[in-house]
Amino acid sequence: MARRYSIYDVFTNRKLSGNPLAVVFDADGLADDAMQAIAREMNLSETVFVKSSSNPAYAARLRIFTPGRELPFAGHPTVGTAIALAERDHGIRGADMDLVCVLEENVGPVRCAVRLRAGEAGFAEFDLPRKPQRIDLLLDHQGLADALSVKSTDMGFENHVASIWSAGVPFLMIPLHNLAIVQNLEFDPLLWERAAPFVEGALASAYVYCRGGVHHQAKFHARMFSPDMGISEDPATGAAVAALSGAIRHFDALPDGHHPLLVEQGVEMGRPSFIYLHIDVKEAEIAKARIGGQAVRLAEGMLDL
């Protein structure tokens, strides 16, 4: 059976930038092993499979696969698929419109808002399906530093220290002193596998970040590495930014109110990505948060399976 697919570049408004995503439409009937094999064939950070939802109120049921395993939730597949479905149903160059939909993911329902404007890349944002939670585990700080080829004294800035956070997918957050250290680090997957803990049955992924960025509006600059997911480096990681929101609220002691932040990633890969994070704090805790970004279609084709 032939199935249509599209490739979108996500968290960017420029083709051949941001994080590429394969969106496989009409994926009903595909078995788990077939979806994993297709994700390995695509060899992108994630491939998303659009299936029918059993709930008629939901736009679709999504299954999200990296080349290594399935994920319960991920940011750039959520943003990219919300835009892809809106453009499929209403046309890439159609009338300006604002849409709201719910995508069913393994983490649960994810509410998305989509904005389509003639001549512009689509924009989508979603409410975090889960609030970020800290996972307390003993960390081998020297081993982690060695895996990043940095000094242990380079780790941490201000109140930020290495910590594990999850908003559906866990990440080991490693703050580094400054932009130059983040840009020049060399990630060693073998040393990481020795030093990093297992969280929820999988080796923790590395999310390295510092304050500031190359873009003058960026509040944080980040890189993500995940040997367990089969990702040598990821140009943009929405699920990690969702988790990072917990670390930002905690270590920066954000006051009550609304906090808009821009996180840049993928710069070192030549695929700059811009992830918009909005955190609403009430009574010193995250009341709600959302993540957004643009996406542009690069290619489309048919899978003959």
Question: By three-state DSSP, how is residue 216 classified?
Answer: coil
Single out the residue of 100, 105, 50, 34 nearest to residue 73, CA to CA: 105
**Hunting for tokens 């130059």 — which residue is that?**
180
Rounded CA gap, 276 and 39, in Å?
26
In 135-228, which ranges are continuous DSSP H helix? 141-148, 179-184, 189-195
Amino acid at 12: T
CA dihedral 4, 68, 112, 55 (to 10 degrees): 70
Rounded CA gap, 122 and 145, in Å?
39
Residue 264 catalytic? Answer: no
Check 46, 104, 105, 125 and give the catalytic one: 46
Rounded CA gap, 10 and 21, in Å?
7
Give the chain's radius of gyration (CA, Å).
19
Amino acid at 191: L
In sequence order, what E strands does 186-272 have?
Answer: 198-199, 202-203, 205-211, 220-226, 231-234, 257-265
Rounded CA gap, 57 and 34, in Å?
27
In the numeric block, which tokens belong to residue 108? 């649960």
Among all residues, which ones are annotated catalytic? 46
